[in-house]
Amino acid sequence: MRVSVIQMNQGSEKQANLDQARRLVEAAVAADRPGLVSLPETWTNLGGGRESRQAAAEPLPAPGETGGPAYELMRGLARGHGIHLHGGSMIEAPGPGDDPEKLYNTTVVFDPEGREVTRYRKIHMFDIVAPDGTGYRESALYGAGDRLVTFAAGGITFGCTICYDMRFAEHYVALRRLGAEAILVPSNFTLQTGKDHWEPLLKARAIETQCWIIAAASSGQYLERGQPRSVYGHSLVADPWGHVVARASDGTGWATARIDPGITARVRRDMPVMEHRASRRIDLDAAARGA
């Protein structure tokens, strides 16, 4: 199965972001004929402040209902090109039973018939201070998800994560236990952290889970309340041995790689780390306490 990761330079104008996503997906499909295409994190909006994010948010429809502009664009691209479309993440408005004061950072996946396959809400909130002193507090605006998600496409089981999730190895090991053979990581990685951590973290997650890592990222500058911020880009695909097998250049574009189940099977056969985990399971928290 071929997969393409789309690299965008989105901003606070939602329609411009939708237009950019359409152009890039259509160009990747025409050039490389992938079976699955992945967009970056919050591809519908980046920057502009709280008001801009709220304006970009869409409620996700119930089965059989029509969604908002971003939702219907993804559905149409999947159906029109006969691909699985992994919608990176979009800004989801709260629905019934949700905290009405929160938005959600949510992945939606469509099959080649344009049917919604699954949804995933980002679990780990990006509440940090970057090396340049810039503060980020995602939890002030977004609610956290509480469910691990996998889906099948082209005979491969994919696990869903979003950006900051990648720093939590146990999340990825749990997806492997659920059967994941490839894990998607749509991201808006800051330039400050990305230049040091982006590729090492993605390679580590590939190596320890023996999964393909498929990471579509945002690239370039955007404005946050009038102040410039930069995201790292460098969208990539890594194989289960940790080799980067495809990488996007600077700026907007895409990268495509072939997911080979034979490589996955060989790596797992020759180094059966999950079997070793199962045979040596201990309560590490208890061990750290000396219990």
Nearest Cα neighbor of 261 from 212, 207, 208, 213 is 212
pLDDT of residue 121: 98
In the predicted structure, residue 131 carries a pLDDT above the cut 90:
no
> Catalytic amino acids?
41, 122, 163
The mean pLDDT of 71-85, rounded to a whole number, is 98
* pTM metric for this prediction: 0.95
How far is 149 from 97, CA to CA, in rounded Å? 20
CA dist list (Å): 199 to 38, 150, 180, 202: 18, 23, 20, 5
pLDDT of residue 225: 86
Residues 149 and 70: beta-carbon distance below 8 Å? no
Domains and CATH numbers, the chain: 2-259 (3.60.110.10)
pLDDT of residue 282: 66
In the predicted structure, residue 226 carries a pLDDT above the cut 70:
yes
Average pLDDT value over all residues in the chain? 95
In the predicted structure, residue 40 carries a pLDDT above the cut 90:
yes
Beta bridge partners of 84: 36
Listed in sequence order, the DSSP H helices in the chain are 14-32, 50-56, 69-81, 169-177, 191-209, 261-270, 273-279, 284-288
The mean pLDDT of 212-231, rounded to a whole number, is 95
Structural tokens at position 225: 């309340």
Nearest Cα neighbor of 33 from 93, 73, 81 is 81
In the predicted structure, residue 148 carries a pLDDT above the cut 70:
yes
In the predicted structure, residue 66 carries a pLDDT above the cut 90:
yes
Express each pLDDT in 275-289 by its tens digit: 998 776 667 667 777
In single-letter form, the type of residue at position 226 comes to G
Express each pLDDT in 85-106 by its tens digit: 999 999 999 999 999 999 999 9
CA dist list (Å): 171 to 146, 161, 166: 11, 9, 8
pLDDT of residue 281: 66
Q: What percent of the chain has pLDDT over 90?
A: 89
